Structure 1
Amino acid sequence: MGPGDPLPPEATSGQFLVQSAARPTLPALSGSRQLIWEAAESESAYLSGRPSSARFRRTVDSMARCVAGLQVGLALGGGAAWGWAHIGVLSVLEEAGLPIDMISGCSMGSVVGAFRSAGITVDRLKDIAHYWRTRTRRFIEWRFWRMCLLNEKIVRKAFRQYFDDREVNQTEIPYWANAVDIRTGKEYTIRDGSLVDCVRASIALPGLLPPSPRDSHLLVDAGIMDPVPVILLRKMGCHYAIGINAMAELESQQVSNRYPFNAFDIMSRCMHVMGHEIGQARAEQAANLVFTPSLGTITKLQFSRSPEIIECGRKAAEANLPAILAGYERLKSGATGAPPAAVTARS
């Protein structure tokens, strides 16, 4: 409606004034956190009855939580096939109604995080995991002289069919991934550019995919430095950070002592030891709660067992859900003190 245009009928009938007066408003920021949160919930309830999109309402809700200091973030750790456990975790948290305002991911965690942030539902994610379980071999193409085991063209094509040309800063849920610049030895945050390029760089595990060039940087999988990127969530402005360490407990994974040793198995085990310990230690420094799904004897390359892995993630999230929700309620009420401890769900 421009200058000089006639007023709509509802404006002259008084309906417009009634609607405007009925709309709740946020209180002054000098009020308590609880008052701000209650007003934000009222604002969300108002918007839910308006002809606006669900995505817009989620954005407004997230902005309200940002103002109130209540944004929730998930840090999804790497772990190859074990990373499918994140799907089960997401399923439980979303069913419980816990808001997810941002996601960070490393390696396989960046894959699941990118999918979910791009608007792909948990049910669709389960379908994708099921589809890939019988097609993993299609990605493999051994080229020793190029230092890679996976066919890069097929990997990129697989992601592009879901992401198309979407950019990292165009996702429905704010999403960042991490990598390591092997030229400087420092962690690198991927916060813009193509979503396909972002995931490709984050899964560039030495020996599986070659490093990913990006400007003056040469990026590889960050599992060697920060496999559960909770610190990344804090940089994004997260107030309540949950870390999921997808690296299986060391005791559950058997190592053969038969000679001659399998060089790949030994290398994989060494990276597992390093990744699990580093990931847990760094995540615990910055997270409100960190937990690890119990994956039993499932190995990190058994993508064919994705339904079992997803179920392991679900069980772990269900076991930790009371602590997660209790911790969030403590944040909402402004309580201080030690948060509830994580628990392990045994398969």
Structure 2
Amino acid sequence: MKWLRRTPKIQKIGLALGGGGARGLAHIQVLETLDELGIRPYRIAGTSIGAVMGALYASGLAGREMRDLVYHWQTPRPEKRHGILDRRDLRRWASMLDPSFDRSGLFKGEKIIKFLSDYVKCTTFEELKIPLYVTAADYGDASEVVFKSGDLLSAVRASIAIPGVFTPVERDGNLLLDGGVVNPLPYDLLQDECDLVIAVDVGGVRHADETHRPSFFDTVIGGFEIMEASMIRDRLKSNPPDIYLRPDIRNVGLLEFHKADQIFHQTQPVQNELRQRLKAALKI
């Protein structure tokens, strides 16, 4: 790919990809827009699903290849696809979840990492084509842990360890949880190193439903997402990124990856916004 020359004042562009489960598929359209404009991020920081997407992209996959990967996993037969998902799609995505008999989480997360390892042909951060920062939370001292070197997949696995959903990860003597617990949108990690920072918040839009009483799982995850949204709001007030994007993603749950078409459709306005703002900032 041919990369654009930067304007004198903007040479290093940072990209922060936030957590949000299945809504993180929206990150793919942001990456496609960067590819379209010939922009290569100088640094990427990711939390949870943002770490997954960041690892795929930093290892060399283009945004379009990541979209194709989603559709390939979703639709095993080309002739089947008519824009409407069926129960086979649900079963196929559900097969990515491996039940855990550990009381600390419902799923092990090992199948997700195995899936990731099939496409990320890098075992360490040092092998990536773009430097990547991955966040996790240290359960012991409630601190943020930022991985920049060493084993890549264990860092990503730690970053997706949503409390109660995926079991925690032990690394270097520490018990690690999802990075969203401490930094759901880690754009601050890039601000000292980059001239322009783009932050993509895929927390989605919540609406009260008086006809539906939330389940135990909905309540736990909903509470976690409210906490993340509160942290992001506070940080935006005190130290905002240069470009903040929040796709208007509605009615997509944490693990509803089978709603890819819906997510991509709802993210299109943000894709257009990013294109316009980058063209203005870079004078292209």
Place the TM-score, normalised by the shorter chain, in its bin. Answer: 0.7 to 0.9
Q: CA deviation at 1:210?
A: 1.5
Question: Corresponding residue for 2:194?
Answer: 238
Matched, 1:325 2:279: yes
CA distance in 1, matches of 2:247, 2:122: 33
Q: Indicate how the Cα distance of structure 1 residues 165 and 266 shifts in structure 2: closer, same or farther if over 3 A, else same.
A: same
Query: Which residue identity does 1:184 align to in structure 2?
Result: D
Matched, 1:107 2:48: yes
CA contact (8 A) 1:89 1:314 kept: no
Of 133, 148, 159, which aligns to 1:191?
148
Question: Corresponding residue for 1:336?
Answer: none
CA contact (8 A) 1:176 1:191 kept: yes
Of 306, 330, 346, which aligns to 2:260?
306
Q: Indicate how the Cα distance of structure 1 residues 171 and 314 shifts in structure 2: closer, same or farther if over 3 A, else same.
A: farther
> Which ranges of 4 or more aligned residues in structure 1 deviate by more than 4 Å?
64-69, 256-259
CA contact (8 A) 2:105 2:168 kept: no
Q: Indicate how the Cα distance of structure 1 residues 217 and 286 shifts in structure 2: closer, same or farther if over 3 A, else same.
A: farther
Q: Indicate how the Cα distance of structure 1 residues 132 and 225 shifts in structure 2: closer, same or farther if over 3 A, else same.
A: farther
Q: CA deviation at 1:238?
A: 1.4
1:279-318 → structure 2 map (5 Å cutoff) = 279-283=232-236, 285-318=239-272
Q: CA deviation at 1:126?
A: 0.8
CA distance in 1, matches of 2:7, 2:174: 32
CA contact (8 A) 2:204 2:248 kept: yes
Question: Corresponding residue for 1:17?
Answer: none
Matched, 1:269 2:222: yes
Matched, 1:179 2:132: no
Count of matched residue pairs: 267
Question: Corresponding residue for 1:141?
Answer: 98
Query: Which residue identity does 1:85 align to in structure 2?
Result: A
Q: CA deviation at 1:263?
A: 0.9
Question: Corresponding residue for 2:82?
Answer: none
Q: Extract unaligned runs of 5+ from structure 2.
A: 75-88
**Greater shift in the superposed pair: 316-325 or 288-297:** 316-325
Q: TM-score, normalised by structure 2?
A: 0.84
Q: Indicate how the Cα distance of structure 1 residues 225 and 303 shifts in structure 2: closer, same or farther if over 3 A, else same.
A: same
Q: CA deviation at 1:219?
A: 1.4
Q: CA deviation at 1:69?
A: 5.7
CA contact (8 A) 1:150 1:208 kept: yes
Q: Indicate how the Cα distance of structure 1 residues 152 and 325 shifts in structure 2: closer, same or farther if over 3 A, else same.
A: same
1:1-347 → structure 2 map (5 Å cutoff) = 70-133=11-74, 134=89, 135-235=92-192, 237-250=193-206, 253-256=207-210, 258=212, 261-283=214-236, 285-329=239-283
SS in 2 for 1:192: coil
Q: CA deviation at 1:92?
A: 1.7
Q: Indicate how the Cα distance of structure 1 residues 317 and 283 shifts in structure 2: closer, same or farther if over 3 A, else same.
A: farther
Query: Which residue identity does 1:292 align to in structure 2?
Result: R
CA distance in 1, matches of 2:274, 2:116: 31
Higher relative contact order (CA 8 A, sep 6+): 2
Which is greater in Rg?
1
Percent of aligned pairs with the same residue? Answer: 27
Q: CA deviation at 1:255?
A: 3.8
Q: CA deviation at 1:142?
A: 3.3
CA contact (8 A) 1:233 1:241 kept: yes
**Greater shift in the superposed pair: 318-327 or 103-112:** 318-327
Q: Indicate how the Cα distance of structure 1 residues 65 and 97 shifts in structure 2: closer, same or farther if over 3 A, else same.
A: closer
CA distance in 1, matches of 2:107, 2:7: 40
SS in 1 for 2:272: helix
Q: CA deviation at 1:202?
A: 0.8
SS in 2 for 1:74: strand
CA contact (8 A) 1:76 1:86 kept: yes
CA distance in 1, matches of 2:258, 2:123: 29
